[in-house]
Amino acid sequence: MAREKWKYLVKDFDKMVDTYGLAGNLRQCLACGKCVGDCPAASVSPSYNSRQIIQDVLDGNQKRLLASEEIWHCLWCASCYRACPSGIYFPMLMMQIRFRAVEAGFGLKYFQTYQKLALKAMTEGMTFVPREKGRAKVEKLRSEMGLSPWPEVSDKAKSEYNALFEMTGSKAWVDSVANKPEAPVDLNYSKGRINLE
Amino acid sequence: MNKKRVMSLEEKLPSVPEAIYLFRSCTGTLQYPGVENAIRHICGLMGIEVIMDPDQTCCSGYLLTCSAYLPEFSLAVTARNHALAEKRNLDIYTFCNGCYAYNCEFAHLLEDQKTRDTANQLIGRFGYNYQGRAKVYHVQELYYRLKDRIAEKMVYPLKGLRVAAHYGCHYLLQEGVIDDFDLPTFHEEILQALGATPVYYTERRACCGYGVGKVFTHKEEVVLPHLLNKLSSIRDEGAQLITTVCPGCNVAMDREQPHLSQMGRGEFQIPVIDLGQLIALSLGASPVKLGFNANTIKLDGILEYLGIDKGAQV
């Protein structure tokens, strides 16, 4: 496989990704591959490789990392964290890689689903609240088993939840992506790995 | 790995609480509300008061991991929920692995003074103050603690029912849990105490596949192939029932079985219920109250096997 040309590499990219400082010391990665061996996402999509992703972050291979489909395959089970002899909290790294990807306009088609869930959660104080039809089903089920038809979430809880969403800038974050165009991806694969021209 | 990950049950939960602050799980209350009743039934028999707070909101971890929330928001929400429990002088008991993991993780991050001040400033406007006094537990720890007392009060022994336990990732990955990540056995011990036969299967520690919104975006590429491996290995061991301790895992393994049956590796018809529901069932709670109607794969066969009338009222 041809090595990527140096001009793509971004210096100190690891610090740009892990802005919250939650992922641990990436430079201590031994590249032992235990994380990949334990990864359920890698077992079904071999091109997803957490060791490679850490290497890309360290190398500053921003272009390949953010545009790749692979970063959306992580299941966040944290088996990699458990297996890591260097205490790298890979799930926290993955979360922040996705922040950067969305900022750069990649994976918006996935992000928009989560954005809808988030905006819905704001009015309900709960995540995954179904629409009309599903709502009637939940009410019927809960009544049958002698529970209140709808989970008791107070108006106070809902309004404070919503207010915190705005105050912390989370609303601005999801809104900022609302009408963004999806950035074009020009990656091609050979033997399950991404090539860069 | 260099931190203390596993602690003994006595160390973690020295005494059985008189009352618990039951943390409402969004998926649990909307998809499998019977779990709430199951917990109330078990705790009622054991003399533990269950308090659910209408002011409590979603734990806000899931959408953070989907990158739709910012960490600041999830931290403030956690501080707020914990402040509510602290006001009542209660410890938080979750019945969802997600709620457990995020509450633990965020409480851990809130130990940092600067982070805590920021969160307190945000929730201070509503009159809350987070001090970090409330501890976070999962109800499965309580079940394990009460195992012997549960066995004494058993009404319907499980007659050697072959049960496969699914632990879920987000409980065992945390620090200070009561069993080992690679080879946990405490569900099997509870099952044995109830008279069931625990089933050990190859993919026992595998994830349910529903993590971070994958079902909305990568169902065909990631979730279904993964679940196919997991459920095939459960079926190969001849399990009659699967238990979970996380409504999210329960949704994944229950709701997707009809889709898995279309993938050419045979039919999947294994009911999936919460461990609490199984315990409550053996303690004599009625199937109506436990809300088995919510399940995609019906439990009629299991109830028949155990000799329980499915229409029995409370």
Half-sphere exposure for B59 (CA within 13 Å, toward CB): 27
Q: Letter for the amino acid at B144?
A: Y
- Please indicate, yes or no, whether residues A166 and A93 belong to a single structural domain of this protein: no
CA of A5 to nearest chain B CA: how many angstroms apart?
30
pLDDT given for residue B313 in this prediction: 57
Question: Taking CB atoms and an 8 Å cutoff, what residues of chain A touch B173?
Answer: 77-79, 81-82
Q: Supply the angle between the helices B275-282 and B34-46 in degrees, to the nearest 10.
A: 50
Query: Does A102 contact B65 at a Cβ distance shorter than 8 Å?
Result: no
**Which ipTM did the prediction report?**
0.90
Question: Taking CB atoms and an 8 Å cutoff, what residues of chain B touch A115?
Answer: 68
Q: Residues 58 to 97 of A: which have CB under 8 A from any B CB?
A: 72-79, 81-82, 84-85, 87, 91, 95
Asked if residue A13 belongs to a domain, the reply is yes
Q: Supply the angle between the helices B186-193 and B275-282 in degrees, to the nearest 10.
A: 20
Element (H, E) at A189: strand A188-190
Query: Does A126 contact B122 at a Cβ distance shorter than 8 Å?
Result: no
CB pairs under 8 A between A and B: 189
- What is the pLDDT confidence band of residue A192, given thresholds at 50, 70 and 90? low
Nearest to B311 by CA among B286, B279, B281, B277: B286
- Please indicate, yes or no, whether residues A92 and A40 belong to a single structural domain of this protein: yes
CA of A3 to nearest chain B CA: how many angstroms apart?
28
Asked if residue A1 belongs to a domain, the reply is no
- Please indicate, yes or no, whether residues A87 and A118 belong to a single structural domain of this protein: no
Asked if residue A12 belongs to a domain, the reply is yes
- Please indicate, yes or no, whether residues A53 and A95 belong to a single structural domain of this protein: yes
Q: What is the pLDDT of residues B115-136, one digit of tens each?
A: 999 999 999 999 999 999 999 9
Q: What is the CATH number of the domain that holds A18?
A: 1.10.1060.10
- Please indicate, yes or no, whether residues A90 and A49 belong to a single structural domain of this protein: yes
**Domain residue limits at A143:** 109-176
Q: What is the pLDDT of residues B163-204, one digit of tens each?
A: 999 998 889 888 888 988 888 999 999 999 999 999 999 999
- Please indicate, yes or no, whether residues A152 and A126 belong to a single structural domain of this protein: yes
pLDDT given for residue A180 in this prediction: 85
Nearest by CB to B33, from A87, A113, A147: name it. A147
Domain spanning B9-139, CATH architecture: Up-down Bundle (1.20)
Report the distance separating Cα B150 and Cα B76, nearest Å. Answer: 38
pLDDT given for residue A61 in this prediction: 86
Total domain count for chain A?
Answer: 2
B2 has a pLDDT exceeding 50: no
B156-306 to CATH, choices 3.30.110.40, 3.40.50.11810, 3.40.50.800, 3.30.460.80:
3.40.50.11810
- What is the pLDDT confidence band of residue B256, given thresholds at 50, 70 and 90? very high
Long-range CB pairs of A39-42 (<8 Å, 24+ gap) are: A39/A79, A39/A80, A40/A75, A40/A77, A40/A79, A40/B206, A40/B207, A40/B209, A40/B226, A41/A73, A41/A74, A41/A75, A41/B222, A41/B226
B1 has a pLDDT exceeding 50: no
- Please indicate, yes or no, whether residues A115 and A69 belong to a single structural domain of this protein: no
Q: What is the pLDDT of residues A63-100, one digit of tens each?
A: 888 888 888 888 888 889 988 999 899 999 999 999 99
- Please indicate, yes or no, whether residues A103 and A116 belong to a single structural domain of this protein: no
Q: Are the CB atoms for B98 and B74 separated by under 8 Å?
A: no
Q: Which of A178-192, B21-35, B158-172, B215-229 has the lowest mean pLDDT?
A: A178-192
Query: Does A85 contact B37 at a Cβ distance shorter than 8 Å?
Result: no
- Please indicate, yes or no, whether residues A191 and A164 belong to a single structural domain of this protein: no
User: How is chain B split into domains, by residue range?
Assistant: 9-139, 156-306
Question: Taking CB atoms and an 8 Å cutoff, what residues of chain A touch B36?
Answer: 147
pTM, two decimal places: 0.92
- Please indicate, yes or no, whether residues A82 and A133 belong to a single structural domain of this protein: no
- Please indicate, yes or no, whether residues A103 and A11 belong to a single structural domain of this protein: yes
Question: Starting at the edge strand that comes first in sequence, how are the strands of the sheet with B19-23 ordered?
Answer: B49-51, B19-23, B92-94, B136-138
Q: Supply the angle between the helices B97-109 and B71-87 in degrees, to the nearest 10.
A: 100
